[in-house]
Amino acid sequence: MRQQQARLAVRNAALRLGNHLWDPAQRPLDLQEGVRHDARDMQSPLSFTMPDTVLTTALDAHPLLMQSIARIDQLEVDRRLRAEYLKPDLDVNYQWLGNAGAMRNAEGAQLLGNGQFVGVGFSMPLLLRRERGELAMARLRLNDAGLALDRDRQMIRNRVRERANNITVLREQVDLGASMVMNNERLLAGENQRFAAGESSLFLVNAREVPLIDARIRQVELENRLRKAYFALDHEAGTLWSAWAR
């Protein structure tokens, strides 16, 4: 039953992974059944110490933060545009009219000047209520985006540390589970020796095998949780698995 449940989980995970697979022509791809993961990706490091660069990279180059920073840049451009609306308009026009000495008006009088036309226009709203309101709204949106960026940084920092704590505890549990497996193997080996010497029974040997099987199952489950914890740390930090493969 556990094997069937595991196969179902693998098929469903493959379908979810297919949502992120595209070929160079931007066409969706389906994960083939024969595709298997790299066995090295399932090997956990013997010890865990989170590098300082991981947290620094997460706070500087996380995709979520890059999106928030781009949003702030966009709002800053909008704020500067709103600020320009508060300034008065000064229009300077220049036009070359040609050879003024040879030009005459409708009454036949000769035009004066050297054939150049210059005009200056100046305008400014009296109250600027709308412009000031829009500028205030732009500043509020920019301030809100900055606070959201700080919140996202704090959230990412806490999540990375939370995943690191989970890995540390799971690493200790995996080591403890390995010790339990080893102890149960020693007890089973001793019971087999007693059985070979005629001092035990098959019932006692089977009784020693059951805890060993349970310990191995728990050990596999702990390894599975530890592997997921490593990938969860990569996801929260915005890094790739290669950062932990060494």
245 has a pLDDT exceeding 70 = no
pLDDT given for residue 180 in this prediction: 94
Which contacts (CB < 8 Å, 24+ apart) does range 166-174 have? 166/229, 166/232, 167/48, 167/50, 167/226, 167/229, 167/230, 167/233, 168/48, 170/222, 170/225, 170/226, 170/229, 171/44, 171/47, 171/48, 171/226, 173/222, 174/44, 174/219, 174/222, 174/223, 174/226
Q: Which carries the bigger pLDDT value, residue 184 or residue 24?
A: 184
CATH 1.20.1600.10 fits 49-101+111-243, yes or no: yes
pLDDT level of residue 99 (50, 70, 90 thresholds): low
Read off the pLDDT of residues 197-220 as tens digits, 9 standing for 90 and up: 888 888 889 999 999 999 999 999
Please provide the average confidence, as pLDDT, over all residues in the chain.
Answer: 82
pLDDT given for residue 147 in this prediction: 93
102 has a pLDDT exceeding 50 = no
pLDDT given for residue 181 in this prediction: 94
pLDDT given for residue 111 in this prediction: 45
Mean pLDDT calculated for residue range 84-90: 82
pTM, rounded to two decimals = 0.69
Read off the pLDDT of residues 105-162 as tens digits, 9 standing for 90 and up: 444 444 445 666 778 888 777 777 888 888 899 999 999 999 999 999 999 999 988 9
